[in-house]
Amino acid sequence: MKFSNVCISVILLALMSSTHLFAREKQMLDSLARARVSGSFVNVPEGKIHYELAGSDTSKTVLLLCGLSAGYYIWDSTFLYLKNAGYKVIRFDHFGRGYSDRICGNYNKEFFMNEINELLEALDVREQIQIIAASMGGALAVEYAIANPRKVKSLTLIGPMIYASNYEIMQRDKLGALMMNVVYGPLIKRSQMKAFYNKKLFVGWDEQFKTTYGITGTKYALLQTIRNYLPEHKFLIYNTLKEQGTPVFLIWGKEDKIIEYKYNVTLRNVLDCTFLGIDRVGHLPQIEKSFIVHPAIVDFLSQNNNK
């Protein structure tokens, strides 16, 4: 391990002498940039959040949570489907992603819990909600439900994060930042299409991520999340969720290469949940096979509307 780290350090120091190899963040997130995008913006104490809200039935309020890197566009079809089904639907970009502010912060559990609370307060959402969340957002949703049991009626978790991803080298101050700039940042950018099983059907989808990846502060936010949230082991929170009794709908693509399908068994051994495994689908089944996922979600939500 020591030899490996030394080798990496030598390579990266060599790269530092070639500044052209570094990915530069040149885009500014200003009023002109925001004027070109759909959705709305709301000011919370920490900064400005990019969100979209539709519907007004407060007995049927749904919050959609994104994962590590992508913006709220992962919920395009889900948002529209739920809206047309009569739900009040909210989706937003996490700080540091999409068109929300790039702010200084730890990007740890407390940071994200505060972000959700501030958004709901700013939008005057006082009613109970049902949460639909994907990937890292799944772990956030579980932690939010545990911290706010009276606010959350149900959880729909799509390929949720369970285990820690601990990149030791990323914890080092300058070396971690350099690795983010040279290796991990570009890797995250290139790997967006890995979310799909049939990539040919979604050519160009990753341009939505690339459009905002160059905004100043994006890699900082991703690095802080990798340092301060991903290393947290999440398995035990699912045990707590079971004890709490919150209804859970677990959805997983059988060809998920980001959080593998086999981990559904781990959660199903812990949770008393409804489960849907989907053939020939990757990490975003709500996009690849929306015609299966969306009706199933609405059926689950309808069972919990009046709880």
Q: What is the pLDDT of residues 235-290, one digit of tens each?
A: 999 999 999 999 999 999 999 999 999 999 999 999 999 999 999 999 999 999 99
Range of 11-15, 134-138, 202-206 with top mean pLDDT? 134-138
Place 8 in a pLDDT band, splitting at 50, 70 and 90: low
Mean pLDDT of the chain: 90
Q: What is the spatial distance between Cα 172 and Cα 95, in angstroms, rounded to a whole number?
A: 23
At CA 72, angle to CA 101 and CA 278, rounded to 5? Answer: 150
Give yes or no for residue 169 having a pLDDT over 60.
yes
Place 173 in a pLDDT band, splitting at 50, 70 and 90: confident
Place 125 in a pLDDT band, splitting at 50, 70 and 90: very high
Place 20 in a pLDDT band, splitting at 50, 70 and 90: very low
Q: What one-letter code names the amino acid at 125?
A: V
- Nearest Cα to 165, choosing from 238, 66, 232, 110? 232
Place 15 in a pLDDT band, splitting at 50, 70 and 90: very low
Place 24 in a pLDDT band, splitting at 50, 70 and 90: low
Tell me the percentage of the chain whose pLDDT exceeds 70. 91
Q: What is the spatial distance between Cα 200 and Cα 30, in angstroms, rounded to a whole number?
A: 34
Instruction: Give this prediction's pTM.
Output: 0.91
Place 3 in a pLDDT band, splitting at 50, 70 and 90: very low
Average pLDDT over residues 279-302: 98
Phi, psi of 9 (to 5 degrees): -60, -45
Residue ranges covered by each domain of the chain: 38-304
Range of 176-180, 186-190, 202-206 with top mean pLDDT? 202-206
| pLDDT in the model for residue 1 | 43
Q: What is the pLDDT of residues 61-108, one digit of tens each?
A: 999 999 999 999 999 999 999 999 999 999 999 999 999 999 999 999
| pLDDT in the model for residue 265 | 97
Place 23 in a pLDDT band, splitting at 50, 70 and 90: low
In CATH, the number for domain 38-304 is 3.40.50.1820
Phi, psi of 32 (to 5 degrees): -70, -40
Place 180 in a pLDDT band, splitting at 50, 70 and 90: confident
Phi, psi of 243 (to 5 degrees): -60, -35
Q: Which segments of the chain does DSSP mark as H helices, in order?
A: 2-16, 31-35, 76-84, 109-122, 136-147, 173-179, 185-190, 207-213, 218-228, 235-244, 263-268, 285-288, 290-304
Q: What is the spatial distance between Cα 125 and Cα 172, in angstroms, rounded to a whole number?
A: 40
- Nearest Cα to 156, choosing from 274, 292, 282, 55? 274
